[in-house]
Structure 1
Amino acid sequence: MDDNDQAGAATLGFDHYVFVLKRQWRILVVATVLGAIASAGYLLLAPQTVTATTTLNLNVITTEPFSAQRAASGLLDDATETAIARSHVVATRASELLDGEATPGEIRAASTVATSSGAAVVTVDYDAPTAAAAVKGADAVASAYLSFRSDQAQERIGVMVTNLNERIDALNTTLGEVNQQLVSADPSSAAYAQATTQRQQIITELDGLLTQRNGLQSVDTTGGIVLSAAEDNELGYAPGRTVTLLTGLAGGLVLGIIAAFIWNPLDRRLRNAAEISRSLRAPVFATVDAKREDVPAKGAAADSLRVTRERLLVDIYLGTTVLVIDATHSDETSPTAVNLAVVTAQVGHDVQLIVPAGTEEFREHLGTALELDDAEEGRAVSSSIPTLRVFTASDSGDERQGDLLLTEQTHAAIADAGDETLTFVVLPSSAHPASILAGLRVAQSVVVVAREHDTTTTEIRWLKEEADAIETPLLGAVAERGLRRAQRTERGIAWPFVARSERTNAARANARTAIESPATAEAKA
């Protein structure tokens, strides 16, 4: 396969996906709406969690807070500070600050601690069912954490200062004893020199201890400061409204796409001319309104059928037979199928119309609409359209016939048509497959009359395959806009273009008059 073939296949596949999605857009809309409803219901029913955040800046507790040798943040440890903030001791203090509204275990489960900038900045998150509880909990955990750090520092410094005080007191006592020795000793003696040296050592050590004690007593034991309280930060909600709704919409859309491709093969009814043309792989010559079903056609329907006639005459030749498949699923033959022959005859061509299937009432209506004269050997000529004749076989329904619709007389009528005559054979798609296959065999071309929302892909596909198998060209289709169910009910079982009972009764009377012999009419008179 060359690059052009591959590009064509890719385009065809993409077109197919677009076609299916456009055809099943209702499923996409319904699935998307259901996804939105499901996500909204989840937001209403699911327990809501509000997350409040408090941000802290920790103080480094050291005697040299402004030392240039090492940054203060380097004296903090991430893991240690996180463990302290999530400790049971801090949770207990926070529980006391909350007046017992939450146990230490609940506080530890609801709180999350994160550090940054070398643990210099600590973020405390607290989850609660309500915004007020979340804000209060986050601030309580942060306050308990800072107070614990401060208390721990003060405690350690207190122990160190106590030890230094004890050592300083001991040295002062020793220094007093040495001073007494110096007073009583001879300045020139060895004892005096030794006491002097000892006194100097004690004073030096005392100076160092006093310096350490003064340094410890000046240490800032504040645990840190609150950079932003919980009420100053944006609250987080779980499940998030926007994310949940978007997820529901996206999930519904994805499920709708899947459902559209699953349902599309099962949805066999063709909705519009584009779908009819795609299924038939042939053009739709025109679209007519089934609500205006006049015979002969009038107004816009007549204009559309004239366009169809001109397109058909490009592909068909005089003396040939055109099989018109009526796939409208009406109770009687569609007027559009009849009008294809009528408009062709109106342009001056000799046309023979054969409609093997149909009730007696239908034939009466047909005779009235086309003003047919007396039938001779089953052939009746239209008074209003002299080049149109309608053939009606009298051997229909005989089980001894080769076919119940295309009988011997029908075959003879097709064979006897002149070289300048176009024969239109109208068969319903509901006819027995044998009759349709026989029609395909005797015809030189095929035209389909389809109705939106009634014609199915199954019958179109079968007809296309059978026509291709015997190389009978399927020229195209005429599409009818479907009738609403109420209109179908109103029309009842009468032939569609006779919409009122008065017109039906008049048609019957005229048909009887048309087929009576002159002698019978004179006797009745």
Structure 2
Amino acid sequence: MNEDQTGAASLGFEQYVFVLKRQWRLLIGATVIGGLVAALYLLLAPQTVTATTTLNLNVITTEPFSAQRAASGLLDDATETAIARSHVVASRASDLLKDSFSPNEIRSASTVATTSGAAVVTVDFDASTAADAIRGADAVASAYLSFRSDQAQERIDVMVSNLTERIDALNKTLGEVNQQLVSADPSSAAYAQATTQRQQILTELDGLLSERNGLQSVDTTGGIVLSAAEDNELAYSPARTVTLLTGLAAGLVVGIIAAFVWNPFDRRLRNAKEMSRELRAPVFATLDARREDVPARGDAADSLRVTRERLLVDIYLGSTVLVIDATHRGETSPTAVNLAVVTAQAGHNVQLIVPEGSEEFRDHLRTALALEAASGGTAYSRTVPALRVFSATDDGDELQGDLLLTEQTHVAIDNAGAEEITFLVLSSSAHPASILAGLRVSRSVVIVTREKDTTSTEIRWLREEADGIETPILGAVAERAVSRGDRGEAGIAWPLSARSERTASSRHSARTDETAAARDEESSVVSGAS
């Protein structure tokens, strides 16, 4: 396997692990549901208890210890199984159980298996309770052994009776021959004939008597119980452990399948690792959104300063940096603004342009940065001298090139000093044409994301468009997600009006309601397609 194939295999395996780790809640949920279904099945399904009795059959023969043939060779598996499952044995077992089970029920509940040439017989009996199963298995085994014994004894009795009748007849004939010998002349032919007949009768009697004695000495015991039902382990069906493990395993398998099916539809990025993977660029820092302000303070300020130093490696003086706000806040994210602020705090001349800022946003920015208005829509900060904020006074409309990047905005970007860095902040929900225009006039891109709010769809679209224009995406700054209950305690004084309302009130107040509605509809259609 060459290096390309090894890398592809590693990437494929890493993708599987990534999806499973990302959808771990779905895996756990499906596994738990599988276990609960299995537990519910155990509660609702009828339980069957199986008891087992093991028997050792005796071979009923006149030569039980013959060395010429093993005793087990005199037994037949099919015959013994048929006898054990016969209606006669079931009737006897029913009598032993005092009619607790009918013969048909006993035959249905019992299972007979033979091993070692039918010398060992295993009787299984199924019942709803352990006590009934034990009683049933022992009853079937006892009935089976007694039936074998009775049958053998009956056959022997018949054979012994026949032999006795033949012996009696021979004894009578022998008496008559003896009378002839007493009355006959020893030298006569009659005497010789009687002597020969007497010898034949005695020989036959010896054989018959030996055969009868052998039959009368046969052991007709059907067999012995090797282990009673109460001595063997009971089997429960359905088995608790196996059923639960099967349910958990089935739930896990379903969860794995569901994870790969659902993952393409789960577009919200949960953490910095997922954002970096989707963006194919590093996440410079993750900020606590509840502690952000303008200018940033505490840990947020430290993280942004680290981000600034990493960005300055790739940002050139005199260039424009497009900051995409993908946090989906009601207003421009303070993190996007603070990227420009911390850069200016390092002594670099910075121009900040936020075309989508509402009047409330600008008022807050004016207060937070102590802005002093100057000519041409530019305001300088007294707290951060190297920072100036540009606000266009003209309205973007269909007669101009773009709705957000107005003619004055383009002029401000073009006229930025050679030692000045311009930060252009646009939201990811802005019109795609405005974002593409921002990509075109910028030398690099930074994206501000928010956990569980930023989606893979918009990140993928931004990345593909940036790659198409060959504007590099340097990386991202992520904001930690906060619960809805914590949003009011975040310490951020930004208004939470909708973007469409914000833009309509601040930048396009002269438009008609029909024009604004048409733009909102177009934006939603394009964003959904992307």
TM-score bucket of the superposed structures, by smaller chain: over 0.9
Question: Offset of 1:394 from its aligned partner?
Answer: 0.8
Cα distance in 2 for partners of 1:40, 1:342 equals 60
Deviations 1:217-269 (A, max 9, x none): 11100000001000010000000000000000000111111111111111110
Contact kept in structure 2, 1:331 and 1:493, CA below 8 Å = no
1:496 and 1:149 map into 2 onto residues whose CA distance is 96
The Cα shift of 1:485 comes to 0.6
Alignment partner, residue 4 of structure 1: 3
C-alpha distance in structure 2 between counterparts of 1:42 and 1:479, whole Å: 46
Partner in structure 1 of residue 279 of structure 2: 280
Which TM-score applies when normalising by structure 2?
0.92
1:238-277 paired onto structure 2 within 5 Å: 238-277=237-276
**Distance change in 2, residues 1:399/1:489 (3 Å):** farther
Matched residue type, 1:238: S
Offset at 1:489? 5.1
Q: Does residue 1:85 correspond to 2:123, yes or no?
A: no
Contact residue 463 and residue 473 of structure 2 kept, 8 A:
yes
SS where residue 405 of structure 1 aligns?
Answer: coil
Counterpart of 1:62?
61
Q: Is the 8 A contact 1:327 1:455 kept in 2?
A: yes
Instruction: Determine helix, strand or coil for the equivalent of 2:38.
Output: helix
Deviation string, structure 1 residues 56-97 (Cα, Å, up to 9, x no partner): 010110111111111111111111111111111111111111
CA distance in 1, matches of 2:331, 2:478: 17
Q: Secondary structure at the match of 2:312?
A: helix
Distance 1:369 1:489 in 2: 19
3-state SS, counterpart of residue 271 of structure 1: coil
Residues in 2 aligned to 1:370 and 1:93: alpha-carbon distance in whole angstroms: 102
Counterpart AA for 1:337:
A
| Counterparts of 2:126 and 2:374, CA distance in 1 | 93
Three-state SS of the structure 2 residue aligned to 1:377 is helix
Superimposed CA distance per residue, residues 344-397 of structure 1 (whole angstroms, 9 cap, x where no aligned partner): 111111110000002100000011111111232011111111111000001134
8 Å contact kept, 1:393–1:410: yes
How far the C-alpha of 1:54 sits from its partner, in A, is 0.2
Distance 1:204 1:246 in 2: 75
| In structure 2, C-alpha distance between the alignment counterparts of 1:412 and 1:170, rounded to whole Å | 143
Distance in 2 between residues matched to 1:492 and 1:100, nearest whole Å: 82
Corresponding position of 2:310 = 311
What 5-or-longer segments of structure 2 have no aligned partner? 497-530
Aligned to 1:508: none
- Which residue of 2 is the match for residue 109 of structure 1? 108
**C-alpha distance in structure 1 between counterparts of 2:400 and 2:490, whole Å:** 34
Matched-pair contact (CA < 8 Å) for 2:59–2:71: yes
Secondary structure in 1 matching 2:371: coil
Which residue of structure 1 aligns with residue 122 of structure 2? 123
1:436 & 1:365 partners in 2: Cα distance?
25
C-alpha contact (below 8 Å) 1:322/1:445 kept by paired residues: yes
Q: Secondary structure at the match of 1:329?
A: coil
Deviations 1:185-232 (A, max 9, x none): 111111111110110110111011011111101110000000100001
- 1:82 and 1:114 in contact (8 A); partners too: yes
Aligned alpha-carbon RMSD (Å)? 1.3
In structure 2, C-alpha distance between the alignment counterparts of 1:353 and 1:366, rounded to whole Å: 11
Structure 1 CA distance, aligned partners of 2:22 and 2:238? 35
Cα offsets for 1:424-469 (capped at 9, x unmatched): 0000001010100100111110000000010000000000110011
Q: Which residue of 2 aligns with 1:441?
A: 440
Q: Which amino acid aligns with 1:428?
A: S
Cα deviation for residue 494 of structure 1 reads 5.2
Note the C-alpha offset of 1:419: 1.0
Corresponding residue number in structure 2 for 1:357: 356
Please show how residues 332-481 of structure 1 align to structure 2 within 5 Å: 332-481=331-480
Q: Distance in 2 between matches of 1:377 and 1:415?
A: 14
Query: Is the Cα contact below 8 Å between 1:112 and 1:126 reproduced in 2?
Result: yes
Partner of 1:142: 141
1:198 aligns with 2:232: no
In the TM superposition, residue 475 of structure 1 has moved relative to its aligned partner by: 0.8
Is it true that 1:189 corresponds to 2:188 in the alignment? yes
The answer (yes or no) to whether the contact 2:290–2:491 under 8 Å persists in 1 is no
Which secondary structure does the structure 1 equivalent of 2:373 belong to? coil
C-alpha distance in structure 2 between counterparts of 1:491 and 1:448, whole Å: 21
**Structure 2 Cα separation of the partners of residues 29 and 333 of structure 1:** 37
What secondary structure is seen at the aligned counterpart in 1 of 2:210?
Answer: helix
C-alpha offsets along residues 140-163 of structure 1, whole Å, 9 cap, x if unaligned? 000000000000000100110011
What's 1:502 paired with? none
- Counterpart CA distance in 1 for 2:311 and 2:488 is 34
Unaligned runs of 5+ in 1: 498-525
**Contact 2:289-2:490 within 8 A present in 1 as well:** no
Distance in 2 between residues matched to 1:54 and 1:84, nearest whole Å: 16
Partner SS for 1:225: strand
Q: TM-score, normalised by structure 1?
A: 0.93
Aligned residues: 496
Corresponding residue of 1:522: none
Match of 1:291, SS state, is helix
Q: Is contact 1:322–1:443 with CA below 8 Å preserved after alignment? A: yes
Matched residues in 1 for 2:366 and 2:399: separation? 28
Q: Give the whole-Å Cα distance in 2 for the aligned partners of 1:375 and 1:456.
A: 39
* Structure 2 CA distance for aligned equivalents of residues 492 and 300 of structure 1: 14
Q: Is the 8 A contact 2:113 2:121 kept in 1?
A: yes
Contact 1:285–1:477 (8 Å) recurs in 2: yes
Greater Cα shift, 237-246 or 174-183: 174-183
2:210 maps to 211
Alignment of 1:66-77 (within 5 A): 66-77=65-76
Q: Contact between 2:52 and 2:234, CA under 8 Å: does it hold in 1?
A: yes
Matched residue type, 1:319: G
Equivalent position of 1:330 in the other structure: 329
Aligned equivalents of 2:107 and 2:375: distance in 1? 103
Please tell me whether the aligned partners of residues 355 and 427 of structure 1 are also in contact (alpha carbons under 8 angstroms).
yes
Instruction: Give, in angstroms, the shift of residue 491 of structure 1.
Output: 7.0
Kept in 1, the 8 Å contact 2:111–2:124? The answer is yes
Tell me, what secondary structure is at the counterpart of 1:495? coil
- The equivalent residue for 1:521 is none
**Distance apart, 1:493 and its partner CA:** 10
- Closer/same/farther in 2, CA of residues 481 and 386 from structure 1, 3 Å limit: same
Kept in 1, the 8 Å contact 2:291–2:490? The answer is: no
Match of 1:53 in 2: 52
**In the alignment, residue 459 of structure 1 is paired with which amino acid?**
E
- In structure 2, the residue matched to 1:520 is none
Distance in 1 between residues matched to 2:134 and 2:199, nearest whole Å: 61
In structure 2, distance between residues paired with 1:491 and 1:315: 32
Indicate the SS of the match to 1:61: coil
Deviation at 1:18, TM superposition (A): 0.6
Q: Is the 8 A contact 1:293 1:496 kept in 2?
A: no
CA distance in 2, matches of 1:401, 1:370: 31
Alignment identity in percent?
80
Match in the other structure for 1:158 = 157
Tell me, what secondary structure is at the counterpart of 1:465?
helix
